[in-house]
Structure 1
Amino acid sequence: MVSLLLKMTVSFFAVMNPIGNIPIFISLTNGYSQQQKKHTARKAAIVSLCILTVFLVLGNFIFSIFGITIHAFRVAGGILIFGIAFNLLHAKTSNAQTPHSAEKKEAEEKEDISITPLALPIMAGPGTIATVMAHTGSGSFNISNLILVFIGFALVLAISYVLFYYSTPVINKLGQGGLNVVTRIMGLILAVISIQMIAEGIKGLFPHL
């Protein structure tokens, strides 16, 4: 159980990439006081927790409504996550996890940027949702599995909150080179996870292969 929790936590950490998101948080909260940064980071983490919990609890229900199988979702989710991993391997931010220019402009004009773009699409983006639903729809689906998935993304969101709160000293300590190294490592881990998801999905769709 501990190894499964560790695997889930690492996968969520890789797809959310909280360290790589620090520069985005700093740019969005430019001019904020430390108290405002704390409030924004806390609210973004709570909103992200709510979003991911909805997909965690209603994942199978969503599958049944749209007639989606977990195997097909694993293949699609794996491809999506691999796209994110590819960008991370080149120390680039993924389009799926990064606010568009319109969202950035809107964030600059509004005081509250905790929901958009911080919670969506940065923290609880498509890749994270895909990872949650892939774990939710696994063959070993049960209450204990739900709890493990919840603990996994809750831990990473808590880490994201702490890193956002201490974003300035963290980025000063790591520097751009350090951030790039961490981003590439997360990209490599995420690429392996995505390939595994695709392989499991194809095996389920074509059991005779």
Structure 2
Amino acid sequence: MDATAALGLAGTTLASYFAIMNPISSTPVFISLTEGDDAVTKRLVAVRSLAVAFGIIVAVSLAGNLIFKLFGISLATLRITGGIVLFIIGYQMLQGASSHSHKPSDADVADSKDAQLSVAVSPLGVPMLAGPGTIATAMTFAAGGWLHIAISLASFTVICGVTYCCFHYSDRLVAFLGRNGMNVVTRLMGLVVASIGVGMLLAGLDHRAAVPG
């Protein structure tokens, strides 16, 4: 892979992770789950939730090829499935609501009140940050080989940094954008996610047609 192709892949992975994780729209959820906590606790929750998400994506990326071989999953099949998952999530976001796969349940929120830091693992770490869409994206990029894995993980690290900044300055961000601004961001990210999903789906169909079976 030449430098131009590598830069193009880096741009695609960055856009994919940013759109599917949607740090800006995740911020109000972070605020609601850490309401009443002090600054130190909020910082710990943010760091731990991102560490959980990062660990999951690293594991999925490194074990991706083994999983493919174990279950007989081809790259084309993964692209088609991942594309469908991303399109559904993007469509839900276009309707002005967060994806159900990223939205914590009432039970999760209620249980989290028993331990302040428990929200770092669930629902923040999983499924909000490392949800089905994020995992499908990571597995799809990981299927391309070690260079793809390295670029994918580097891009995910950058987005984790952006997400931490959003969480750290969450009160200011929400106050600046307001409810309408957050809805606009969610819809725009939904369009991006849906478009990426269609692209993955078409790439998978093309690959399937070129390499039957």
Give the TM-score of the pair, scaled to structure 1.
0.94
Mapped pair 1:7 → 2:12? yes
Mapped pair 1:48 → 2:58? no
Deviations 1:146-186 (A, max 9, x none): 21101111111111111011101100001011111111111
Alignment-mate amino acid for residue 207 of structure 2: G
Is contact 2:23-2:162 (8 Å) kept? Answer: yes
SS of structure 1 residue aligned to 2:104: coil
Tell me the distance in 2 between the aligned counterparts of 1:176 and 1:62: 41
Deviations 1:60-111 (A, max 9, x none): 1011111111211111111111111011112201111112222222122322
Which of 162, 168, 188 is matched with 1:165 structurally?
A: 168
Identity %: 33
Tell me the distance in 1 between the aligned counterparts of 2:161 and 2:116: 23
How many angstroms does 1:125 deviate by?
0.7
How many pairs were matched up? 206
User: Which residue does 1:202 correspond to in 2?
Assistant: 205
User: Which residue does 1:192 correspond to in 2?
Assistant: 195
Mapped pair 1:178 → 2:184? no
Higher helix share: 2
Which of 18, 22, 26 is matched with 2:23 structurally?
A: 18
Alignment-mate amino acid for residue 94 of structure 1: S
User: Which residue does 1:34 correspond to in 2?
Assistant: 39
Large movers: runs of 4+ above 3 Å: none
How many angstroms does 1:46 deviate by?
1.1
Tell me the distance in 1 between the aligned counterparts of 2:74 and 2:48: 33
Tell me the distance in 1 between the aligned counterparts of 2:42 and 2:116: 11
Which of 108, 127, 133 is matched with 1:127 structurally?
A: 133
Is contact 2:90-2:194 (8 Å) kept? Answer: yes
Is contact 2:98-2:186 (8 Å) kept? Answer: no
Tell me the distance in 2 between the aligned counterparts of 1:42 and 1:136: 25
Alignment-mate amino acid for residue 147 of structure 1: A
Give the TM-score of the pair, scaled to structure 2.
0.92
CA RMSD, Structure 1 to Structure 2 (Å): 1.4
Which stretch shifts more, 53-62 or 72-81?
72-81
SS of structure 2 residue aligned to 1:93: coil
Unpaired runs of 5+ in structure 2? Answer: 1-5
